[in-house]
Structure 1
Amino acid sequence: MLMNKSVRVIATSAFTNLRWFAIQVRNSVSTVKDFPKMPDCKFVPSAYNGANYETVERAYKSVVSPSLKQFYKEPLLIHEGRRQWLWDHRGKRYLDMFGGVATVSVGHSHPKIAAAIFEQTSKLNHVSSVYMHARLHEYVTKLKAKFPSKLKVVYLTNSGSEANELAFLMARIYTRSQHIVSLQNGYHGATYGTSASTAMSTWRYPFIAQPAGYLRAVYPDVYRGDWGGSRCRDSPVQVAGRKCDCNERECIASEKYFEKLDESFRFNLPCTRGVAAFVAESIQGVGGAVQYPKYFLQKVCDYVHKKGGLYIADEVQTGFGRTGEHFWGYEGHGVEPDIVTLAKGVANGFPLGVVVTSNKVAESLNSALHFNTFGGNPLACVVGSTVLDIIEEEDLQQNAYVVGTYLIDRLSTLLSQFPDVVGDVRGKGLMIGVELISNSETRTPLQVERVLEIFEDIKNMGVLVGKGGLHANVLRIKPPLCVTKMDADFTFAVIKEALEKHDGKY
């Protein structure tokens, strides 16, 4: 009886593995037959043995977070990841061109990060930040080397929202002013304070009074805004169909948007000591990869400094080489911030946020106690340190520049192929946006249901992208920095086929 039972167990196990292999083959054949050919991947994921799909879906709808809106008509149940690839519970493979919202910087389940976590967790998981440990010193020393010499102090938090909250607190205490100025269409977090600086109506709850001390200023978008032309932004692709008389040292759109910002200051803030800080993403992420006109950030930062305020560079999405040419997105604007906030790609998905600032600004917190239970956690420090090593060892910043520029150039051909659907292609490195429209003259956003159809078709062909912008009509492409030109070609082919299907239907 024991032998028969063992034989049944072995047979069942063999059947399960055979069934898993059959699913993989079927998915591969389907991909080759029906869709653009997906690049090869030698990694074989493990079989999914978790709760069934329906149970997990019910939990997300009723227990986990009922307000959380899942992507897709049939939400994905992700089981495993390796580098730029993800597998769902059925074993279907996807090319991850969203990177967990620009968070997976060096690739899913990087073996060096896994090894570092295992080694550290076997020694020390956590101590309160009131005790010292060498991993914190190791990490902050490495990270400081990436910044200008005046930015010498590092505070560790758990998220980008928390980092921005701390930056706002520092700025207010240091300047003895209250107002935080942000840009319309910007996103800086979803906590009570950061949501007040996030200037998008889709992130605003009704009936909730916003905290005082926030001003949302101009929307400097050279594609959708009042001013912009064919020479106005730092991108391989300029705005199509808009002309301008700008030159190498002057941008007319920049001047116009700055005048609007100055007007906001003059009408809404006290004439003396009116601003604590100006905060801006180097490229607006959730807002749809929006790039400002050239020299705009320089003008605003100089202006804010004259008003006694600080410049906070929100590098939560644009940091760690994502924009290609520079390690930090703000470097592309020729500005030097007083405070920098980091998260997302800082630890490849491990919860970590960072505030980097000068000694002078940091000393402002000495007027009271400030404490973070998990800030500087040994595991977080080890992961953050390992991410910095991998970016350098694998030359991922250069890869972001080469592959990103290549992909942007390929995507730009969609502007002429689908002029009534693709309104703009923009970005730098692997921070890319494709804006979908329904009218090229008015730049009217494509209807939500049509965007969702395109979005769904892209997923069905094996590519995961994000969506953003105020009208959720921008395809957001922010993959792990290890993607290849073959991945870029596949992404382009899939998006093109989805647009062709849309054109054929409408």
Structure 2
Amino acid sequence: MQKETYPDTNDAVESRYDDYLMPIWKSLDVPVKRSSGCTLEDFEGNEYLDCFSGISVTNAGHGNEAVVEAAKDQLDEFVHGCSYVHPNEPVAAFAERLAEVTPGDLQKTFFCNSGTEAVEGAIKLARKHTGSTEVVALEMGFHGRTLGSLALTGNTAYKDGMAPTINDVSHFAAPYGYRCPRCDGDECGAACANDLEHVIKSHTADDLAAVVVEPVMGEGGIVVPSNEWFQRVKEIAHDHGALLVVDEVQTGYGRTGSLWASDHFEVTPDILTQAKGIANGLPLGAFTASADVADSFGSGDHLSTFGGNPVACAAALANVDELQDGIVDDAAEQGAWLGDRLADLEDEYDVVGDTRGLGLMYGVELVDPDEDGPMGVAAAPDADLAKHVSQRLRDEGVVIGVGGFYKNVMRFQPPLTITREQLERAVDELAAAIDAETD
């Protein structure tokens, strides 16, 4: 049988996706032939400014030379030996580096393939260490799409038609100050964190293994807690004998202007989960704990055939070097400018209800100012406006994500190597798109 050939076009690639891949999320809908820095190029030569970096993955920039070279060098040595059967240098070196750069006394790492796997492994470790089974996570939170991590995810939109296998999961209120009925637009503090205490007492048997939180909620709409909220959550978790699992899958590796978002809040996790930006696009996930917690696993308690692939670990080690060589510091500086510029949009447009974020992880919440929001708090979310603004931006060559619990938040999460000129273009195009869609 002669192999079918296809023209090198956007339509041809998308047609094959429709014919041969199971349905997936394609909301940005930009076929990619190549990428470099902060730029994507499709099969017809159109270029796009990437302000989403593959859902916060290519933090060091598309095609970062040092990361690519490290992966190529390791490919020439060997690709796979199963890191949990044959010890090798890239895995050992990267694990040692993580012990140096992660917060507090976190020391030992388990490598897997994705953020979802990292979260699932962290829950297993917390259960093994504490001898307890129950888990509490955040409403509106997102931790993955496999059945275990999906149970932690506090959004029915991801669960429709699925039946999570972890039954001992409860959820407490997110620190979503803009829409918090307790705080009425103010920053959520320790009093809001006490909802965790309420949920433990009313929805659990107080047999708590872990409390799982994102330090900045990504899929939830770039929701940033206060220091006192975060610190109070850890205090409550420990009061009930539970570990605090901080999910840095989306926030880690410089995304918030610090290597770890936890650093902003002066909170050291008991277990830290990582993925996305870890290897700048190569598949890798990890969870890291103190030696005391990590050694609760016995030999064979947890395993991953491809976890800790030496090529991905070599790339990840180069990636951390790149990030710490000025990229994270630049992200903090650029993020300060971006926060101020987006706040100007909030003042300028009634349909911009709120802007918030850290580093180069910012959300712009679009609303209908003439309608009240859920529970009468703030203006109604406007998912249709966000969808149309995103499409208009794409037509103008700018890719910005859309997310949030109500699907109404424009998500700025560009490669951390983005220039001021590129950021200015992105914000200007966003303002133009809002103008055009609300005129």
Aligned counterpart, 1:471: 406
For 2:107 and 2:358, the matched residues in 1 are separated by 28
Aligned counterpart, 1:200: 155
Aligned counterpart, 1:64: 21
Task: Check if 1:311 corresponds to 2:241.
Answer: no
Aligned counterpart, 2:385: 450
For 2:69 and 2:425, the matched residues in 1 are separated by 31
Equivalent of 1:172 in 117, 127, 152: 127
Instruction: Letter of the 1:62 partner, please give it.
Output: D
Identity %: 31
Cα shift readout 1:287-332 (whole Å, capped 9, x = no counterpart): 11011234111111111101110001111111112111x3211111
Shift of 1:123: 1.4
- Higher mean C-alpha deviation, range 217-226 or range 206-215: 206-215
Equivalent of 1:301 in 234, 249, 255: 234
SS in 1 for 2:251: coil
Distance of aligned partners of 1:441 and 1:207 in 2 relative to their CA distance in 1, 3 Å threshold: closer
Equivalent of 1:327 in 259, 262, 274: 259
For 1:141 and 1:351, the matched residues in 2 are separated by 19
Equivalent residues of 1:228, 1:293 under 8 A apart: no
SS in 2 for 1:450: helix
Aligned counterpart, 1:41: none
For 2:366 and 2:193, the matched residues in 1 are separated by 27
Equivalent of 1:360 in 292, 300, 320: 292
Shift of 1:368: 4.8
Cα shift readout 1:115-160 (whole Å, capped 9, x = no counterpart): 2222111111111221111111211112211024521101111000
Instruction: Give the TM-score normalised by structure 1.
Output: 0.81
Instruction: Letter of the 2:309 partner, please give it.
Output: N
For 1:193 and 1:369, the matched residues in 2 are separated by 17
Aligned counterpart, 1:439: 369
SS in 1 for 2:272: strand
Cα shift readout 1:331-363 (whole Å, capped 9, x = no counterpart): 111211110000000011100001100112112
- Higher mean C-alpha deviation, range 184-193 or range 365-374: 365-374
Shift of 1:77: 1.1
**Residues 27-426 of structure 1 correspond to what in structure 2 (within 5 A)?**
51-66=8-23, 68-72=24-28, 75-129=29-83, 130-206=85-161, 208=163, 210-228=165-183, 232=187, 253-271=188-206, 274-324=207-257, 326-366=258-298, 368-393=300-325, 395-419=326-350, 421-426=351-356
Equivalent residues of 2:367, 2:408 under 8 A apart: yes
CA RMSD of aligned residues (A): 1.7
Cα shift readout 1:59-84 (whole Å, capped 9, x = no counterpart): 22232122x13125xx3211110011
Equivalent of 1:429 in 353, 359, 366: 359
Shift of 1:90: 1.0
SS in 1 for 2:388: helix
Instruction: Letter of the 2:365 partner, please give it.
Output: E
SS in 1 for 2:424: helix
Instruction: Give the TM-score normalised by structure 2.
Output: 0.93
Shift of 1:108: 0.5
Shift of 1:56: 2.1
For 1:270 and 1:454, the matched residues in 2 are separated by 46
Shift of 1:440: 6.3
Shift of 1:491: 0.8
Instruction: Letter of the 1:439 partner, please give it.
Output: P
Shift of 1:205: 2.3
Equivalent residues of 1:221, 1:293 under 8 A apart: no
SS in 2 for 1:295: helix
Equivalent residues of 2:131, 2:209 under 8 A apart: yes
For 2:7 and 2:86, the matched residues in 1 are separated by 39
Larger radius of gyration: 1
Instruction: Letter of the 1:138 partner, please give it.
Output: A
Instruction: Letter of the 1:385 partner, please give it.
Output: L
Distance of aligned partners of 1:115 and 1:432 in 2 relative to their CA distance in 1, 3 Å threshold: same
Aligned counterpart, 2:375: none
Cα shift readout 1:12-52 (whole Å, capped 9, x = no counterpart): xxxxxxxxxxxxxxxxxxxxxxxxxxxxxxxxxxxxx9644
Structure 1, unpaired ranges of 5+: 1-48, 233-252
For 2:96 and 2:271, the matched residues in 1 are separated by 17
For 1:363 and 1:317, the matched residues in 2 are separated by 26
Equivalent of 1:460 in 365, 372, 395: 395
- Higher mean C-alpha deviation, range 152-161 or range 106-115: 106-115
Shift of 1:99: 0.6
Equivalent residues of 1:222, 1:293 under 8 A apart: no
For 2:299 and 2:308, the matched residues in 1 are separated by 21
